[in-house]
Amino acid sequence: MAGEEKTEKATPKKRRDQRKEGNVLQSKEIVTAASVLGIFALVRILAGYMMKTILAFSGSVFERAGTYDVNADTIMPLIVEMMTVVVMIVGPVCAGAMLLGIIPTIAQTRGLFTMKALKPKFSRLNPLEGIKKLFSAQAVIGILKGLIEVIVIGWMVYSEISSRLPRLLALMDTGLMQGLAYAALSIFDMVMLICILLVFVAAGDFIFQWWQFEKKLKMSKQEVKEEFKQMEGDPQVKSKIKQRQQQMAQSRMMQEVPSADVVIRNPTHYAVALRYDQDKNRAPQVVAKGKDYLAMKIVEIAEENDVYTMENPPLARALYAQVDLGREIPVELYDAVAEVLTVVYREKNKTLHA
């Protein structure tokens, strides 16, 4: 039903289908936190290398400053050298940032790659749909979350700068390197606070995304039933298959009747065909059995193929109830069946071995 409440957890099949469509649990805040932490760690590790590279380039430029003739032949090599230095400084950080943006995504999606999300959807061109998304609950939550992050980070930065402002003003009377060192440590402390905040934000966002994802996947009881039908098969289809299987089994059973030694009947309600191969079987075997119409059919085929038929209602009912098709008769029926086969074999001039 279209309006039925979705209260059931998503089934494994529903989760697999959604994954194929590209719908997986994913938090962008985790990617952001990992990227910021990773970039900061890389800058921290490569700070010495970056500073040495900058100082070496600056010193080289200042040493050659008085020897330059400003023209195209001298400026272009300087620009190329400056770009090379920039790449040497920024390149490792950018490469690390790209890698740190990919790894959390792969970890969350468990390596999912699908092109279905890139397929064009004409519904995306509908301006009404776009307006609905702008005012949806998810969009409002995203905006509020972003505003709270900006406010908190701004407050943290302002508090840190305010507490360090007297010391920063005092650095005007110290050396350049001391001032740079203190500024770097101050930036380090502020970034650490921001990183801690981002970790908590990422954890909270992951929990929220998980709740929202599970809510989106929930199914109604009717949907669960329909899925179960698809997996197990529609009852009507299963019934037809079972009926067809029974018909095939009956057909094979009827093919065994001509090879039977005797058919014991009651006289129309039950019929059981027995065959006794003294070289293969320890006891007579039920090769066909049935009641009502099927019993009459067994008797008809037996008479057409000159199979001996005998009326013995108690024995026919006992064989039908106690012995499955293709099984040998139980010990308690040996005597009764032996009497029947003795009569049959006498008619056929055969000997029944004990």
- CATH number, domain of 337, equals 3.40.1690.10
CA 181/CA 176 separation, integer angstroms? 9
Residue 197 lies inside a defined structural domain of this protein: yes
Q: Determine the Cα–Cα distance for residues 16 and 186; give it in Å rounded to an integer.
A: 49
Last residue of a domain, one of 55, 79, 112: 112
Which residue, of 164, 198, 218, is where some domain finishes? 218
CA-CA distance, 178 to 195, in Å (whole number)? 26
d(CA 354, CA 349): 16
Domain count, the chain: 3
- Which pLDDT score, from 0 to 100, does residue 1 have? 46
Tell me, yes or no, whether 13 lies in a domain.
Answer: no
How much is the pLDDT for 193? Answer: 81
Q: Are residues 290 and 332 in the same domain?
A: yes
Answer whether residue 198 is part of any domain: yes
Would you state the pLDDT for residue 350?
56
Domain assignment present for 1: no
Query: Are 181 and 142 found together in one domain?
Result: yes
Q: Is residue 290 situated within a structural domain? A: yes
SS (H, E, C) 77-117: HHHHHHHHHHHHHHHHHHHHHHHHHHHHHHHHHCCCCCCHH
Instruction: Tell me, yes or no, whether 151 and 64 share the same domain.
Output: no
CA dist 70 and 151 (Å) reads 49
Q: Is 310 helix (H, G, I), strand (E, B) or coil?
A: strand
Structure letter (DSSP) for residue 269: S
Residues of the chain with pLDDT under 70: 1-4, 65-74, 113-139, 168-169, 171-177, 179, 231-237, 349-354
Q: What is the C-alpha separation between 137 and 187, in angstroms, rounded? A: 36
Q: Same structural domain for residues 105 and 131? A: no
Strand order in the sheet with 270-275: 285-291, 270-275, 262-265, 308-311
Q: Which helix (H) or strand (E) holds 274?
A: strand 270-275
Is the whole model's pTM more than 0.75, yes or no?
no
Determine the distance from the C-alpha atom of residue 51 to the mean position of all C-alpha atoms in its chain, rounded to a whole number.
Answer: 48
- Name the 3-class secondary structure at 134: helix
End residue of a domain, out of 168, 200, 218 = 218
Retrieve residue 85's tokens. 């230095």
What is the reported pLDDT for 71?
A: 64
226 falls within a domain: no
Domain holding 68, by residue range, is 27-112
Closest CA to 193 of 159, 224, 217: 159
Based on the domain organization, do 168 and 253 belong to the same domain? no
Q: Are residues 311 and 342 in the same domain?
A: yes
pLDDT attached to residue 232: 63
- pLDDT the model gives residue 354: 47
**CB contact burial 160-188 (16+ within 10 A = b; e otherwise):** beeebeeeeeebeeeeeeeeeebeeebee
Would 287 be classed as within a structural domain?
yes
- 182 & 259 share domain: no
Same-domain check for residues 98 and 127: no
Task: Tell me the sheet residues that pair with 262.
Answer: 274, 308
Asked if residue 117 belongs to a domain, the reply is no
